[in-house]
A and B are shown apart, each in its own frame.
Chain A
């Protein structure tokens, strides 16, 4: 870039040189007084010029024509033309300079130099300059008339301004067309007004001009007409007017004739058309055609576009699908999504999967995309139509209906245009007919399809292995019921709330089911396809919903049931607006991370956050795929969770529950990708350590935040065997993360046992997950040791004991894996250097190729600089040549002059001498 910037000044420099050389004509003003005098002289000269104008003008006007003629002559003269021969003809290359006219261009250049350089050369020793101040003298745009007018106006103005500013009384002599009004008033030329009764009472311009003098401009036209005759004879006024009248009458007659002719022709054409129209179209009866004969003709372009649109509509629609097909398609779709997920998990970049955008040859480029078919696939079940889930139903079938409506609309338009088109276009009618015919056929086939599907469905009535369909049905029923109850009380349309408070007040005092319906209706009423601003509104709705969920779970007694239900609309919104949802969740994560970090920075440890915070991680896992190599939302969430697990010491049962919740979420995150999370293993080991009885020295190491000998050691130790006998496996309530509400020893023991069971189950899953890891044994050896040697297994209920046994067996089985020494991946051998030339296809010939825009720009500037530089040098060289020539001519002329003078002098002298001698001789003779 710097070099480009550096180039600019040099370019500028070159240009300066050129301009200095080319613009030789300077108007300079040295002496102010002289300048004034010159100005006066200019005015006088202008007047002289006016008088001579008519003579001088003609050759000027004729000049262009002559030049053009001369040029064409030159072009046709083979001796004037120089053809630049090309060695090879290259396809696609534009040649600019294949033919040149050296003579012409040379003379042009010479002329220009004579006008500029020569003048400058001749004035080289002079400092005074002649300034031509005549107004518009060198302005080629102004015609001489205009020039005169303006000059006159200027003069008048000057006159008026100077005198009448303070001299109010002096009256100006008013003139009309150069004659003073006073003399006009004498009326010595009476107007002959007998003949101006025809022509509808309007007087022609010439007439008025003749009578009243007229405006200067009008006069001019007449004057120019008369200029030719002027030399012959000046006509009298009366004659002139008569001539004018005759002329205008002639014109009028001609115009009338013209009109009549056109009318006749049109009628003839119409008749002709009517005669052949019957052959072209039988569609519309004649009576109708006559009813609207004068409809504006549709544009050719419009017709073509419409025709193309109709072509597309004429496509056969998708055939109705059977259940198997639907299931299969669903499966295929899932497979595709799964494949994509796997690809993301392995961390391939997205660029690879981006398909090149294919543009069909039939694409109208109007943004209409067919590939995504939103319409519901029609299928039947038990003889009834099989509808998908209601909320989707509305969205999707809405689209479908729209399509249908479009179809109808198109047909109408089609018909309408038929009617209009008949007059001028012949092919259209037939095409339309075809389209309609095919439509009819389609309907027929649809009908048939319906029947066949019905039959096939009746056959497959018994085999209802398709779970999805059942689910959908169940769902539908439940929802219908709910809807029945709710719809009675709720309004049908909702606006998207503007603020969170509005949103909260909208939902707060309704039961969960109604809240769902409200949300659903908000979504339906404000679907992005309905209005422009809806997208932004619904995007905001996601944030509100997330806040609402937080509020619900933040309460004293978290309303998790409602939260549970709210997840579904949240998920749907997220599917609609992934970016907005991601931003929203990322902001929340940012807040959490900041809070945790502040705590860690001040105390070097943190405490487990409350349930509503932990739920965010769960929601993240629900909304976004957790198996990706990198994900804008999941990866940060992962880091925060890992930080929680490695920085929050477990000092209470609540902490244990929270930690277990986090680790089970972590495990869930990696359940598909089987990625290794050291913090989780550390945490599980720590939890197991808390369940062992205190011992002075142990031969395993726990990782911070856990300590071998801390105050919370034996936190999970169960001290009562009867309690463990009465323990039944149950799920940990999520609310226990915020605080246990029981003081009862048995319940607490049960809680501890549940924690241990959960922990062991997570360990089992980890063992499954990481079974293939090359360092499996090293990862799990501390856990194995704790379970095998330190955990008081015999005090636990049997289910837990079995679990322990399973884990130990699994670990043993997996750790038998042999250790194969590490070897580098085989690398491809470096290819031997080749000496054959590298051939690359040239796709855009003649264009300057460069890697990027900057380089291209640079190259362009460098090239331009080179070109300008060369041309500047050439110009300078030619100028010098020209000057040298001039100088030579000058000296030659001087020499010749001198010789001539010398000769004359010698001649004179010799004659004198001769005379003198003759005289002398005479004298001598006389003597």
Chain B
């Protein structure tokens, strides 16, 4: 299989590559044929550092094949490896010496591959990654350490560390390689050890950079962590490095251990200062792919409250995580609604996460046990803000407000106050007030919606006309309106059928030559 692949690759290579390939092939054969030709190995390793991309690719493949064969034959030294420059004791046989020498070559090859992960060419990077993972698998099968490993299980952790170091670089965005690595994360053991290695790597980089983390590194870490798909089942049996004994006891085989280390790696990551865009990305996936896989989701409280206090879009996004904590984990959040109230500003209608925010706001305000003043303040503030909203939002927000009033009939005076003696001189509602309790919203009316009854878009107008009559008891469904975009509105209008096309009857004299033409007053043709 590998050979065929190589052949295909070889065919695609140019002449130069062909010659290199042939040379590599002959060398490989020589080395495998007899130990006398072992020195050809140096030539192969030389190719690994060549400038030519094709040569490097060929060399990587050859190395992989070579060491795979050697590992299988057991021609690599097993046990603690003496240093290369150290004189070998004479007690060792020639074969042992050969094996030690060969093991050194293997180590240099692996470190070389680790360096290849830092190169510019994504092709080389990916191949190096695949080969390293292959070595991990082979080493698991034919262990090179004679002693029993720390936890009694065999896993070539040093190799994985090499890989992770290559993936989480400090200066280069490695998202492409991480994407490739994602498929290995499906293996439960790889996932487990990756997370533990990442924790080390973060600590290491943190120390190296004088207690700060470069933003590119953080992005890489986030890319790697977000591509982790946590298992759902209790039975974990998908391993790259199979264990012979006591499999059930092995940590990567336990979901609980996975969760623990998952929690640790995320907490370790999130305690560092994140950039705004990264913050948003984390918050976007927090509720779906992080919180459910933590053993103690309450650990996120600090992170989320801080995020909620940041303001703007980040606060909006933090709401989702907070909602889960409040809803499922009994989080008491003091002044939660006050905070939510202060989140309402004109930009709410223009941000990307509008649908999400209003979906949650709808959930938060769906409780019928909320005080009337609070609901009234929300309704009034939303209607005030709707004066700056685009039509696609208005179509959603007006039923939203009406739903609030339906749920809390005590808010009805906002749209129906027959008992009022006299007109007011000004609107009693205080927009600038941060505390909904003090905003005097209950004394006000929703004049803004009345103003919207003269909106240019007929559907908005129709929605706003609802408040002129007694509201129906049935709440209107806004879930379909949440994601509405202006283009969808446009499409809807274009699809409407029409019989006649009314025409302008006022005759024209030119582009800017009509009566009451405002553009003509300010613009000229030249």
Chain A: residues with CB nearer than 8 A to chain B?
334, 337, 340-341, 344, 347, 350, 560-561, 563-565, 567-568, 571, 574-575, 578-579, 581-582, 586, 589-590, 593-594, 596-597, 600, 604, 615, 618-619, 622-625, 628-633, 635-636, 638-640, 642-643, 646-647, 660-661, 664-665, 667-671, 673-679, 681-682, 699, 701-705, 730-735, 758, 761-762, 765, 773-779, 818-825, 827
Q: Which of B507, B518, B521 has the most CB of A within 10 A?
A: B518
Which residue of chain B is the closest to A337 with respect to CB atoms? B505
**Is the CB of B508 closer than 8 A to any CB of chain A?**
yes
| Distance of A919 from chain B, by nearest CB (Å) | 117
If over half of A's interface residues share one DSSP class (helix, strand or loop), that class is named, otherwise mixed; here it is helix
Q: A590-B494, A636-B494, A704-B347 are in contact. Are A668 and B452 (CB under 8 A)?
A: no
- Find out whether the CB atom of B388 lies under 8 angstroms from the CB atom of A618: no
Find chain B residues with CB under 8 A from A567 CB: 508, 510-511, 513
- Find out whether the CB atom of A618 lies under 8 angstroms from the CB atom of B511: yes
Q: Which of A677, A732, A821, A825 contacts B456 (CB 8 A)?
A: A677
| Distance of A345 from chain B, by nearest CB (Å) | 10
Chain B: residues with CB nearer than 8 A to chain A?
345-347, 350-352, 384, 387-391, 394, 413-418, 420, 423-427, 432, 445-448, 450-452, 454-458, 461, 467-470, 485-487, 489-490, 493-494, 496, 498-505, 507-514, 516-519, 521-526
- Find out whether the CB atom of B499 lies under 8 angstroms from the CB atom of A731: no
- Find out whether the CB atom of B525 lies under 8 angstroms from the CB atom of A734: yes
Q: A571-B507, A819-B424, A822-B450 are in contact. Are A350 and B518 (CB under 8 A)?
A: no
Measured in the bound complex, the distance between the Cα atoms of B521 and A283 in whole Å is 72
Q: Which of A669, A758, A776 has the most CB of B within 10 A?
A: A758
Q: Which of B467, B504, B524 contacts A625 (CB 8 A)?
A: B504
- Find out whether the CB atom of A678 lies under 8 angstroms from the CB atom of B388: yes
- Find out whether the CB atom of A593 lies under 8 angstroms from the CB atom of B504: no
Q: A564-B511, A571-B508, A622-B514 are in contact. Are A823 and B417 (CB under 8 A)?
A: yes
Q: A561-B525, A622-B504, A818-B423 are in contact. Are A639 and B415 (CB under 8 A)?
A: no
Q: Which of B451, B500, B518, B525 contacts A564 (CB 8 A)?
A: B525
Measured in the bound complex, the distance between the Cα atoms of B510 and A578 in whole Å is 19
In the complex, besides A571-B507, A774-B447, 5 extra interface pairs with C-beta distance below 8 angstroms are A624-B503, A732-B524, A778-B451, A779-B451, A822-B447
| Distance of A467 from chain B, by nearest CB (Å) | 12
| Distance of B95 from chain A, by nearest CB (Å) | 64
- Find out whether the CB atom of A639 lies under 8 angstroms from the CB atom of B457: yes
| Distance of B440 from chain A, by nearest CB (Å) | 13
Find chain A residues with CB under 8 A from B454 CB: 674-676, 773
- Find out whether the CB atom of B486 lies under 8 angstroms from the CB atom of A581: no
- Find out whether the CB atom of B504 lies under 8 angstroms from the CB atom of A624: yes
- Find out whether the CB atom of A731 lies under 8 angstroms from the CB atom of B522: yes
Q: A618-B511, A675-B455, A735-B526 are in contact. Are A778 and B519 (CB under 8 A)?
A: no
Q: Which of A624, A761, A778, A820 contacts B501 (CB 8 A)?
A: A624
- Find out whether the CB atom of B522 lies under 8 angstroms from the CB atom of A568: no
Find chain A residues with CB under 8 A from B516 CB: 668, 671
Measured in the bound complex, the distance between the Cα atoms of B457 and A676 in whole Å is 9
Q: A775-B450, A825-B468 are in contact. Are A632 and B496 (CB under 8 A)?
A: yes
Q: A347-B458, A563-B511 are in contact. Are A582 and B424 (CB under 8 A)?
A: no
Q: Which of B388, B498, B508 contacts A682 (CB 8 A)?
A: B388
| Distance of A350 from chain B, by nearest CB (Å) | 7
Q: A564-B513, A674-B454 are in contact. Are A822 and B350 (CB under 8 A)?
A: no
Q: Which of A600, A703, A731 contacts B347 (CB 8 A)?
A: A703
Measured in the bound complex, the distance between the Cα atoms of B60 and A333 in whole Å is 89
Which residue of chain B is the closest to A772 with respect to CB atoms? B454
Measured in the bound complex, the distance between the Cα atoms of B448 and A776 in whole Å is 9
Measured in the bound complex, the distance between the Cα atoms of B467 and A411 in whole Å is 68
A-B contact pairs, 22 of them (CB 8 A): A560-B511, A560-B526, A564-B513, A567-B508, A600-B485, A604-B352, A630-B458, A632-B496, A636-B494, A639-B490, A675-B455, A676-B451, A677-B455, A678-B388, A699-B432, A702-B346, A703-B350, A761-B522, A778-B387, A818-B423, A820-B424, A822-B415
Find chain A residues with CB under 8 A from B467 CB: 822
Q: Which of B346, B448, B501, B507 contacts A578 (CB 8 A)?
A: B501
Find chain B residues with CB under 8 A from A341 CB: 502, 505
Q: A678-B387, A678-B390 are in contact. Are A660 and B522 (CB under 8 A)?
A: yes
| Distance of B501 from chain A, by nearest CB (Å) | 4
| Distance of A662 from chain B, by nearest CB (Å) | 10
Which residue of chain B is the closest to A586 with respect to CB atoms? B494
- Find out whether the CB atom of A593 lies under 8 angstroms from the CB atom of B490: yes
- Find out whether the CB atom of B500 lies under 8 angstroms from the CB atom of A350: yes
Q: Which of B389, B417, B450, B456 has the most CB of A within 10 A?
A: B456
- Find out whether the CB atom of B494 lies under 8 angstroms from the CB atom of A821: no
| Distance of B421 from chain A, by nearest CB (Å) | 10
Find chain A residues with CB under 8 A from B390 CB: 642-643, 646, 678-679
| Distance of A519 from chain B, by nearest CB (Å) | 15
Find chain B residues with CB under 8 A from A819 CB: 423-427, 445, 447
Measured in the bound complex, the distance between the Cα atoms of B102 and A156 in whole Å is 114
Find chain A residues with CB under 8 A from B525 CB: 560-561, 563-564, 733-734
Measured in the bound complex, the distance between the Cα atoms of B450 and A823 in whole Å is 11
Q: Which of B427, B498, B500, B513 contacts A777 (CB 8 A)?
A: B427
Q: Which of A628, A705, A765, A819 has the most CB of B within 10 A?
A: A819
Q: A590-B494, A819-B447 are in contact. Are A676 and B455 (CB under 8 A)?
A: yes
Find chain B residues with CB under 8 A from A347 CB: 458, 461
Measured in the bound complex, the distance between the Cα atoms of B389 and A673 in whole Å is 20
| Distance of A877 from chain B, by nearest CB (Å) | 57
| Distance of A773 from chain B, by nearest CB (Å) | 5
- Find out whether the CB atom of A731 lies under 8 angstroms from the CB atom of B451: no
Q: Which of A618, A642, A733, A779 contacts B524 (CB 8 A)?
A: A733
Q: A643-B486, A674-B454 are in contact. Are A775 and B417 (CB under 8 A)?
A: no
- Find out whether the CB atom of A564 lies under 8 angstroms from the CB atom of B517: no
Find chain A residues with CB under 8 A from B517 CB: 668
Find chain A residues with CB under 8 A from B505 CB: 334, 337, 341, 625
| Distance of A825 from chain B, by nearest CB (Å) | 5
Which residue of chain A is the closest to B514 with respect to CB atoms? A622
Q: Which of B420, B445, B457, B518 contacts A765 (CB 8 A)?
A: B518
- Find out whether the CB atom of B490 lies under 8 angstroms from the CB atom of A733: no
- Find out whether the CB atom of B519 lies under 8 angstroms from the CB atom of A668: yes
Measured in the bound complex, the distance between the Cα atoms of B467 and A682 in whole Å is 25
Which residue of chain A is the closest to B414 with respect to CB atoms? A822
Find chain A residues with CB under 8 A from B490 CB: 593, 597, 636, 639-640, 643
Which residue of chain A is the closest to B428 with respect to CB atoms? A819
| Distance of B407 from chain A, by nearest CB (Å) | 19
| Distance of A598 from chain B, by nearest CB (Å) | 9
- Find out whether the CB atom of A664 lies under 8 angstroms from the CB atom of B503: no
Which residue of chain B is the closest to A559 with respect to CB atoms? B525
Find chain A residues with CB under 8 A from B470 CB: 824, 827
Measured in the bound complex, the distance between the Cα atoms of B502 and A758 in whole Å is 31
| Distance of A780 from chain B, by nearest CB (Å) | 10
Find chain B residues with CB under 8 A from A774 CB: 447-448, 450-451
Measured in the bound complex, the distance between the Cα atoms of B524 and A732 in whole Å is 6
Measured in the bound complex, the distance between the Cα atoms of B416 and A525 in whole Å is 64
Q: Which of B387, B394, B501, B507 contacts A581 (CB 8 A)?
A: B501
Q: A676-B454, A731-B522, A774-B450 are in contact. Are A623 and B510 (CB under 8 A)?
A: no
Which residue of chain A is the closest to B431 with respect to CB atoms? A778
Which residue of chain A is the closest to B425 with respect to CB atoms? A818
- Find out whether the CB atom of A773 lies under 8 angstroms from the CB atom of B451: yes
| Distance of B481 from chain A, by nearest CB (Å) | 16
- Find out whether the CB atom of B510 lies under 8 angstroms from the CB atom of A564: yes
Which residue of chain B is the closest to A333 with respect to CB atoms? B505
Find chain B residues with CB under 8 A from A732 CB: 522-524
Which residue of chain A is the closest to B421 with respect to CB atoms? A821
Q: A604-B352, A734-B525, A821-B420 are in contact. Are A642 and B388 (CB under 8 A)?
A: no
| Distance of B297 from chain A, by nearest CB (Å) | 31
Measured in the bound complex, the distance between the Cα atoms of B489 and A604 in whole Å is 17
- Find out whether the CB atom of A661 lies under 8 angstroms from the CB atom of B519: yes
